[in-house]
A = this chain, B = another copy of it.
Amino acid sequence: MANKIKVVLVGGSGYAGFEVVRWLLRHPFAELVGIYGPAKELGPMDQFYPLLSKQVRLSQELFDPQAIAASGAELAMLCVPHKVAMSYVPALRKLGLRVIDWSADYRLHDRDVYQEWYCPHEDAEGLAEAVYGLPEFFAERIRTAGLVANPGCYPTCSVLPLAPILQAGLIASEGIIVNAVSGVSGAGRTPSLKFHFPERNENFEPYGVGKHRHMPEIEQTLGDIVGHGVQVLFQPHLCPMDRGMLCSIYARPKGDVTAEQLVEVLQAAYADKPFVRVRSDVLPATKYTTYTNFCDVWATVAKGQVILFGALDNLIKGASGQAIQNMNLMFGFEETAGLY
C-alpha cells in the first residue's frame, strides 16, 4: 500500500527485534524499511534468524541516524540494551523521528532512581520528554508523544491487574507482593550455563531476590496511576518454557472486600480496552495469551487476602505487541491494527 508509514528497527539481533519484524510483516499500515545495529552485529537478518529467510531481505546495517532519516522513516523501534538506547535516541529525535524505545532508559522518570538501579543517565532531555507506553492508562499522551518508553514485561503484567484495584481503594498501598514467573526468552539471547538447555529444562527457580530492576518501575507506574506512593515486593522466577508470564499478586484488602467487587472494578476499567481480558470463565494461564497481545487478569478474595493474577506473552504484550499498539496510537491507526 502506498500510504504505509515507514519504520526502522534499531537492534535486530535479539528476541525483541525478531518479534517486531514479524509483526511489521503483517501490519496493514506500516512497513519495515531498514534495520540498524552496532558494528559487531551486521549482516542479513536471516543470518541472525534463519526463520526469516525468504521473508525479510533486509540486512542489519551500521547505526546511522542520517541514513535512517534519509530513508523516509517516521518511526524508529529501538531494541537495544539500556545505556546504548540513550546514546542513540537524541540523534534520532533531533532528526525528527519519533521513537519507541524498548530499553529501560526512559521508563523511570526520576533520574536518581534510574541511576540507583542502572547507570548514569546522559539524556535529561529525552527523560523529560518520554511518555510511558502503557496504552491502557496513558493513551492520550502516547498519541502525541515523540518518545515512548515501551514498558517492561513484568511491569505490564503486574500493573494491569493491580492498578484499577488500587485506584478503587480496595487494597492497601503497601505490603503488596508480586510473585512473578517468566518464560526463558525474557532473559535474552546470550548463552550462559544458567540458560543452557539441560540446566534450564525441567527446572523452576527464583532469581533477583529483592533487587530486580522492574521493581521500581512497577512502583512508579502504580504511583503515577493512583496518585500516591505504592510499595511492592517483586519476586521473579524462571519457568522452563519459551515464552509466557504469570504474576500472582497478593494484597491486603481495605475493609470488607468481595470477589464480586474486585471483578466489577476490573471489568469497568477494561471494558473498552481491546487487549485486557477480565477472565471469569477460566483462571489465567500463560498459554491462553501466547502469541497474542492480550493480558488476562483475574481477582478474588481468599483467607483474608486479595489475590490477583495477570498473564501475558512476555515477548508480545510484554514487548513487541505493546510497541505496535503504541505505534498504532501514535500514528492514528486503529489500536488493534495488525495485532491479531
Q: Contacts of A175 on B, CB cut-off 8 Å? A: 252, 304-305
Residues 303-328 (chain A) with a chain B CB within 8 angstroms: 303-305, 307, 309, 311
Query: A175-225: which residues lie under 8 A (CB-CB) from chain B?
Result: 175, 177, 179, 181, 183-185, 189-193, 195-207, 209-211, 215
Question: A283 CA to B203 CA in the complex, in Å?
Answer: 12
A288-B51 contact in complex given A209-B283, A210-B302, A307-B210, C-beta closer than 8 Å: yes
Tell me whether A261 is interfacial, beta carbon within 8 Å: no
Q: How far is the CB of A270 from chain B (nearest CB, A)?
A: 10
Residues of B within 8 A of A195 (CB): 191, 196-198
Q: Is the CB of A340 within 8 A of B55?
A: yes
Measured CB to CB, the closest approach of chain B to A67, in angstroms, equals 26
Does A240 interact with chain B (Cβ within 8 Å)?
A: yes
A283 touches B240 (CB 8 A): no
List the B residue with the shortest CB-CB distance to A25.
B340
Residue of B nearest to A340 (CB): B25
Of the listed stretches A4-12, A80-88, A103-111, A242-250, chain B binds: A242-250
B240 and A241: CB pair below 8 A? yes
Instruction: Tell me which of B46, B248, B277 contacts A281 (CB under 8 A).
Output: B46
Task: Please indicate the chain B residues that have their CB under 8 angstroms from the CB of A311 in the complex.
Answer: 205
- Flag if B242 contacts A202 (CB, 8 Å): yes
A51-B287, A177-B177, A196-B191 are known contacts. Are A239 and B240 too (CB-CB below 8 A)? Answer: yes
Interface membership of chain A positions 278-291, coded 1 if the CB is closer than 8 angstroms to chain B and 0 otherwise: 01011111111111
Of A25, A195, A285, chain B has the most CB atoms within 10 Å of the CB of A285
Is A71 located at the chain interface by the 8 A CB criterion?
A: no
A294 to chain B, nearest CB (A): 7
Stretch from A91-99, A139-147, A158-166, A230-238 forming part of the interface with B: A230-238
Query: By the criterion CB–CB under 8 Å, are B202 and A241 in contact?
Result: yes
Bound together, the chains give a CA A143 to CA B244 distance in angstroms of 40
Q: Tell me, rounded to whole Å, the shortest Cβ–Cβ distance linking A212 to chain B.
A: 10
Are A191 and B192 in contact, with the CB atoms below 8 A?
A: yes
Residue numbers in B under 8 Å from A243 (CB-CB): 198, 202
A302 touches B233 (CB 8 A): yes
Note all chain B residues with C-beta closer than 8 A to A205. Answer: 246, 283-287, 311
Check B202–A244 contact: CB distance below 8 A.
yes
Inter-chain pairs besides A202-B242, A204-B286, A205-B287, 20 sampled, C-beta below 8 Å? A46-B281, A51-B287, A51-B289, A53-B288, A175-B305, A189-B196, A196-B197, A197-B201, A197-B242, A202-B241, A202-B287, A204-B241, A205-B285, A206-B283, A231-B303, A232-B303, A233-B250, A233-B305, A235-B250, A250-B250
What are 6 A-to-B residue pairs whose CB atoms are below 8 Å? A46-B281, A179-B248, A203-B244, A203-B285, A205-B283, A233-B305
